[in-house]
Amino acid sequence: MTAPTTLGNDLLRSAARLSRWASRHASFDVPFAQARLLALLDELGPSRVSTLAAADHSSQPTTTAQLGRLEAAGWVHRAPDPDDARASLVSLSAEGRAALEGVREARLAVLSPALDQLDGPALARVQVAIDVMNELLATAADATDPHPTRKDG
Protein backbone atom coordinates (compact mmCIF):
# COMPACT_ATOMS: atom_id res chain seq x y z
CA MET A 1 0.00 0.00 0.00
CA THR A 2 1.21 3.50 -0.83
CA ALA A 3 2.11 5.75 2.10
CA PRO A 4 -0.42 8.56 2.70
CA THR A 5 2.24 11.22 2.07
CA THR A 6 3.16 9.73 -1.31
CA LEU A 7 -0.49 9.19 -2.16
CA GLY A 8 -1.30 12.79 -1.23
CA ASN A 9 1.56 14.13 -3.35
CA ASP A 10 0.50 11.97 -6.29
CA LEU A 11 -3.12 13.09 -5.94
CA LEU A 12 -2.22 16.78 -5.81
CA ARG A 13 0.17 16.51 -8.76
CA SER A 14 -2.30 14.56 -10.88
CA ALA A 15 -5.20 16.90 -10.16
CA ALA A 16 -3.04 19.95 -10.89
CA ARG A 17 -1.66 18.43 -14.11
CA LEU A 18 -5.14 17.53 -15.32
CA SER A 19 -6.42 21.04 -14.60
CA ARG A 20 -3.42 22.70 -16.30
CA TRP A 21 -3.68 20.36 -19.29
CA ALA A 22 -7.39 21.10 -19.79
CA SER A 23 -6.81 24.85 -19.45
CA ARG A 24 -3.79 24.85 -21.75
CA HIS A 25 -5.66 23.10 -24.56
CA ALA A 26 -9.04 24.78 -24.10
CA SER A 27 -10.07 27.83 -26.05
CA PHE A 28 -11.64 30.57 -23.95
CA ASP A 29 -11.33 34.35 -23.81
CA VAL A 30 -11.24 34.81 -20.05
CA PRO A 31 -7.69 35.29 -18.71
CA PHE A 32 -6.78 32.35 -16.49
CA ALA A 33 -6.29 34.43 -13.32
CA GLN A 34 -9.72 35.97 -13.81
CA ALA A 35 -11.31 32.57 -14.48
CA ARG A 36 -9.73 31.29 -11.27
CA LEU A 37 -11.20 34.24 -9.33
CA LEU A 38 -14.64 33.69 -10.88
CA ALA A 39 -14.46 30.02 -9.85
CA LEU A 40 -13.45 31.02 -6.34
CA LEU A 41 -16.43 33.38 -6.09
CA ASP A 42 -18.67 30.59 -7.34
CA GLU A 43 -17.30 28.30 -4.62
CA LEU A 44 -17.30 30.79 -1.73
CA GLY A 45 -20.28 32.92 -2.64
CA PRO A 46 -20.34 36.67 -1.84
CA SER A 47 -16.98 37.48 -0.26
CA ARG A 48 -14.83 40.34 0.93
CA VAL A 49 -11.72 41.17 -1.08
CA SER A 50 -9.54 40.11 1.86
CA THR A 51 -11.22 36.68 1.96
CA LEU A 52 -10.72 36.20 -1.78
CA ALA A 53 -7.09 37.30 -1.59
CA ALA A 54 -6.36 34.88 1.24
CA ALA A 55 -8.16 32.00 -0.48
CA ASP A 56 -6.26 32.69 -3.73
CA HIS A 57 -2.90 33.19 -1.96
CA SER A 58 -2.68 36.61 -3.58
CA SER A 59 -2.03 40.03 -2.17
CA GLN A 60 -5.03 42.23 -1.53
CA PRO A 61 -3.86 44.82 -4.13
CA THR A 62 -3.49 42.08 -6.77
CA THR A 63 -6.96 40.73 -6.00
CA THR A 64 -8.42 44.25 -6.01
CA ALA A 65 -6.91 44.88 -9.46
CA GLN A 66 -8.29 41.59 -10.82
CA LEU A 67 -11.71 42.34 -9.35
CA GLY A 68 -11.60 45.77 -11.01
CA ARG A 69 -11.14 44.04 -14.37
CA LEU A 70 -13.96 41.62 -13.61
CA GLU A 71 -16.21 44.49 -12.52
CA ALA A 72 -15.40 46.45 -15.70
CA ALA A 73 -16.38 43.38 -17.73
CA GLY A 74 -19.66 43.19 -15.81
CA TRP A 75 -18.79 39.78 -14.36
CA VAL A 76 -18.96 40.74 -10.67
CA HIS A 77 -20.78 43.29 -8.60
CA ARG A 78 -20.22 44.75 -5.17
CA ALA A 79 -22.73 45.28 -2.42
CA PRO A 80 -22.36 46.65 1.10
CA ASP A 81 -21.40 44.05 3.68
CA PRO A 82 -24.33 43.90 6.11
CA ASP A 83 -21.90 42.91 8.89
CA ASP A 84 -19.47 45.81 8.34
CA ALA A 85 -20.44 49.12 6.75
CA ARG A 86 -16.78 49.79 5.85
CA ALA A 87 -16.52 46.67 3.68
CA SER A 88 -18.24 45.34 0.58
CA LEU A 89 -19.07 41.88 -0.65
CA VAL A 90 -18.17 40.84 -4.17
CA SER A 91 -20.35 38.33 -5.97
CA LEU A 92 -20.77 36.86 -9.43
CA SER A 93 -23.18 38.59 -11.77
CA ALA A 94 -25.26 36.59 -14.23
CA GLU A 95 -22.73 37.56 -16.90
CA GLY A 96 -19.86 36.39 -14.71
CA ARG A 97 -21.57 33.07 -14.11
CA ALA A 98 -22.04 32.71 -17.88
CA ALA A 99 -18.36 33.53 -18.50
CA LEU A 100 -17.32 30.94 -15.92
CA GLU A 101 -19.62 28.33 -17.49
CA GLY A 102 -18.00 29.10 -20.86
CA VAL A 103 -14.57 28.39 -19.37
CA ARG A 104 -15.82 25.18 -17.79
CA GLU A 105 -17.45 24.05 -21.03
CA ALA A 106 -14.25 24.77 -22.98
CA ARG A 107 -12.19 22.73 -20.51
CA LEU A 108 -14.75 19.92 -20.63
CA ALA A 109 -14.58 19.92 -24.44
CA VAL A 110 -10.86 19.14 -24.09
CA LEU A 111 -11.35 16.43 -21.48
CA SER A 112 -14.37 14.66 -22.99
CA PRO A 113 -12.52 13.01 -25.91
CA ALA A 114 -9.95 11.60 -23.49
CA LEU A 115 -12.73 10.20 -21.28
CA ASP A 116 -14.42 8.76 -24.38
CA GLN A 117 -11.31 6.60 -24.89
CA LEU A 118 -11.84 4.83 -21.56
CA ASP A 119 -13.79 1.59 -21.29
CA GLY A 120 -16.61 0.99 -18.81
CA PRO A 121 -14.46 -0.34 -15.95
CA ALA A 122 -12.00 2.55 -16.28
CA LEU A 123 -14.85 5.08 -16.26
CA ALA A 124 -16.25 3.40 -13.15
CA ARG A 125 -12.85 3.76 -11.45
CA VAL A 126 -12.76 7.44 -12.40
CA GLN A 127 -16.22 7.87 -10.84
CA VAL A 128 -15.11 6.11 -7.65
CA ALA A 129 -12.02 8.35 -7.50
CA ILE A 130 -14.20 11.45 -7.92
CA ASP A 131 -16.53 10.27 -5.16
CA VAL A 132 -13.59 9.63 -2.81
CA MET A 133 -12.06 13.03 -3.60
CA ASN A 134 -15.38 14.76 -2.90
CA GLU A 135 -15.69 12.92 0.43
CA LEU A 136 -12.12 13.88 1.28
CA LEU A 137 -12.78 17.52 0.43
CA ALA A 138 -15.99 17.62 2.44
CA THR A 139 -14.33 16.10 5.50
CA ALA A 140 -11.16 18.18 5.22
CA ALA A 141 -13.08 21.42 4.61
CA ASP A 142 -15.20 20.86 7.70
CA ALA A 143 -12.10 20.35 9.84
CA THR A 144 -9.52 22.76 8.45
CA ASP A 145 -10.87 25.31 5.97
CA PRO A 146 -9.92 28.80 7.23
CA HIS A 147 -12.13 30.38 4.58
CA PRO A 148 -15.88 30.53 5.11
CA THR A 149 -18.06 28.71 2.64
CA ARG A 150 -20.94 30.40 0.97
CA LYS A 151 -23.62 31.54 3.35
CA ASP A 152 -26.49 30.11 1.29
CA GLY A 153 -25.33 26.55 1.80
pLDDT at 150: 43
| Per-residue model confidence as pLDDT tens digits over 81-91 | 999 888 899 99
Reduced 3-state DSSP string for the chain: CCCHHHHHHHHHHHHHHHHHHHHHHCCCCCCHHHHHHHHHHHHHCCECHHHHHHHHCCCHHHHHHHHHHHHHCCCEEEEEECCEEEEEEEEECHHHHHHHHHHHHHHHHHHHHHHHCCCHHHHHHHHHHHHHHHHHHHHHHHHHCCCCCCCCC
Residue pLDDT, tens place only, 18-76 = 999 999 999 988 998 999 999 999 999 999 999 999 999 999 999 999 999 999 999 99
pLDDT tens-digit readout, 105-151: 999 999 999 999 999 999 999 999 999 999 988 888 766 555 544 43
- Stated pTM of the model: 0.81
pLDDT at 99 over 70: yes
Q: pLDDT per residue over 102-114, tens digit each?
A: 999 999 999 999 9
Output the CATH code of domain 29-113. Answer: 1.10.10.10
pLDDT on residue 59: 96
Which sequence spans correspond to the domains of the chain?
29-113
